[in-house]
Amino acid sequence: MRASLHGFALVLLLALGGGTWAAATETVGQADDADEWDGLPGGPGREEVYGMCSACHSLMIVKQQGLSRDDWAEMMDWMVEEQGMPELDEETLTLIIDYLAEHYGVDRRGAGQP
Task: Determine the longest span between alpha carbons in the chain, in angstroms.
Answer: 46
Kindly state whether residue 91 participates in binding ligand HEC, applying the rule CB under 6 A: no
Residues 4, 12, 57, 77: which binds ligand HEC (CB under 6 A)?
A: 57
In 3D space, the residue among 68, 23, 60, 56 whose CA is nearest the CA of residue 42 turns out to be 23
Q: How many residues bind ligand HEC (CB under 6 A)?
A: 16
Kindly state whether residue 40 participates in binding ligand HEC, applying the rule CB under 6 A: no
Chain-centre distance of CA 43, in angstroms? Answer: 6
Burial of 107 (0-12, 13-18, 19+ CB in 10 A): exposed
Selected range binding ligand HEC among 9-17, 20-28, 35-43, 81-89, rule: CB under 6 A:
81-89
Selected range binding ligand HEC among 11-19, 31-39, 77-85, 105-113, rule: CB under 6 A:
77-85
Kindly state whether residue 30 participates in binding ligand HEC, applying the rule CB under 6 A: no
